Amino acid sequence: MPAGPAARDSRPPGPYVGWISMDAFFNQAFAGLSMASILLMVALGLAIIYGAMGVINLAHGEFVMLGAYSAWLLQTYFGFSILVSLPVVFLMVALIGLAVERGVVRWLYHRPLDTILATWGIGIVLQQLVRMGVGTDSRYVARPTILDGNVVLGGVVMSNYRIFVVVFSIAVLAATWYLLTRTEYGTRLRAVIQNKEISECYGIRSERVYAMTFAYGAGLAGIAGALVTPLVSVTPTMGTYLVVDAFLVVILGGVGSLMGTAVAAGLVGEATALFSFLLNDTLGRVAVLCAIILLIRFMPQGLFPDRVRR
């Protein structure tokens, strides 16, 4: 403990390890966990779309943004709480995703590089449409009153809403796992991923599977966007920041692994929160990026590579 009453007063109370307040540490870790949960939902959609079709969807951040604006719209004009809006937002953004897939992406499946450019362009168009339609002002969405309040554990204050986000994202992960491994749609999708030709010979319409998958991934992004609204302000460019982290998560987790995506989302979310806490926001970002570059240098396939022989 440092000497002098002035130094002691300016620091939060509670136990310390060295110069780090344990309460502040755990509060930051919890904030990191809730951001990791949002990240997980964004990254799941990205990973599924990339894993299934090899499409790097640079418009994914805009799907997040559209989800956020949908939540704002539903709250401002219809008075819906986010909890009520979630299924509606999922459907709205999934439909937009479906339109993007049917209108543009499906023509480019055999030209993967061009899908990057095309989806980037779509992202810019969507951003600009929102700017023109809603304006550039930041919008705010109130968190549902039912989730007001905090859970206090010692010196750690966890808002009920953030706890809800964490639990909800785990539920989304479980639902996605179930959808992919235990339903007929999932089996069809996994068949098409592994052998498109033979899947079609056995009656599977691969293009319909692709369209559904793209829409599902977009819908997940929309949900993430809606859920993040009480935590950050809603702007036309909000998706960009999230999607960069989500790409890092997908690369770190290893393509084609739900488990990898989940673990990587946790790692990136926590690392960002803790590095920012120990250093500062900017240096924290730098540290996270360096850590990921190092990891990928030694594990190019990501943390959970697919080791099955073909």
Partner 1 sequence: MLEASALFSYYGKSPIIQDVDFRVEAGSFTSILGRNGVGKTTLLRTIMGLTDAITGALRFEGADLARMPTHRRGRLGIGYIPQGREIIPRFTVRENIVMGTYARADGKRSIPEFIFELFPILRDFLGRRGGDLSGGQQQQLAIARALAMGPRVLLLDEPTEGIQPNIVRQIEDVILKLNREMGITVILVEQNVGFARRASDQFILLDKGRIALTGTGEKLTNEVADEYLTF
- Binding residues for partner 1, per CB under 8 A? 184, 187-188, 190-191, 194-195, 197-206, 308-310
Instruction: Compute the least distance from the CB of residue 201 to partner 1, in Å.
Output: 5
**Which residue lies nearer to partner 1 by CB, 144 or 256?**
256
**Which residue lies nearer to partner 1 by CB, 120 or 185?**
185
Take residue 62 and report the two structure tokens written for it: 């805009």
Long-range contacts of 21-28, Cβ-Cβ distance < 8 Å, separation of 24 or more: 22/155, 23/154, 23/155, 23/156, 24/277, 25/274, 25/277, 26/155, 26/156, 27/155, 27/156, 27/157, 28/273, 28/274, 28/276, 28/277
**Which residue lies nearer to partner 1 by CB, 59 or 192?**
192
Instruction: Compute the least distance from the CB of residue 51 to partner 1, in Å.
Output: 12
> What DSSP string runs through 150-199?
EEEETTEEEEHHHHHHHHHHHHHHHHHHHHHHHSHHHHHHHHHHH-HHHH
Instruction: Compute the least distance from the CB of residue 191 to partner 1, in Å.
Output: 6
Q: For residue 128, report the phi and psi dihedrals to the nearest 5 degrees.
A: -70, -35
Instruction: Compute the least distance from the CB of residue 308 to partner 1, in Å.
Output: 5
Element (H, E) at 16: strand 16-17
Residues 6+ apart with CB under 8 A from 49: 55, 57, 60, 213, 214, 217
**Which residue lies nearer to partner 1 by CB, 172 or 209?**
209
**Which residue lies nearer to partner 1 by CB, 239 or 254?**
254
**Which residue lies nearer to partner 1 by CB, 297 or 310?**
310
Q: Are strands 156-159 and 150-153 parallel, antiparallel or unpaired?
A: antiparallel
Instruction: Compute the least distance from the CB of residue 181 to partner 1, in Å.
Output: 10
Instruction: Compute the least distance from the CB of residue 189 to partner 1, in Å.
Output: 12
